[in-house]
Amino acid sequence: MEMFLTQLVPESTSFKHSCEGPDDMPAHIKACFLGSSLTIPITDGQLNLGTWQGIWLCEHRNRAGSRKVIVTINGVLQE
């Protein structure tokens, strides 16, 4: 995935921010393809993913700052 996105949106792209580094604008474009949120079904306390499904946490910057992952669980507890 990384090789594909880098070929699709190289760091040499002409779209640049003026103060955040050469990899910042390409990172924004790459993030648009993958999104920034995810809904995952949970069944009986387990991730309910298909056989070939997985979850990727992607960082598109070479020198990124710290990141936070926020998890919100919606549903009903079964008794």
pLDDT in tens, 46-64: 899 999 998 888 888 887 7
Do 47 and 40 form a contact (C-beta atoms < 8 A)?
A: yes
What pLDDT shows up at residue 51?
A: 92
pLDDT of 21 above 80? no
Residue 44 CA to its chain's centroid (Å)? 26
- Which of 17-21, 44-48, 60-64, 73-77 is the most confident on average? 44-48
What pLDDT shows up at residue 48?
A: 93
pLDDT of 11 above 90? no
Nearest 5°: CA angle at 30, between 25 and 60?
75
Domain map of the chain by residue range?
1-78
Do 62 and 41 form a contact (C-beta atoms < 8 A)?
A: no
Which residue in 27, 7, 8 sits closest to 17, CA to CA? Answer: 27
The span from the CA of 45 to the CA of 31, in Å, is 29
pLDDT of 15 above 90? no
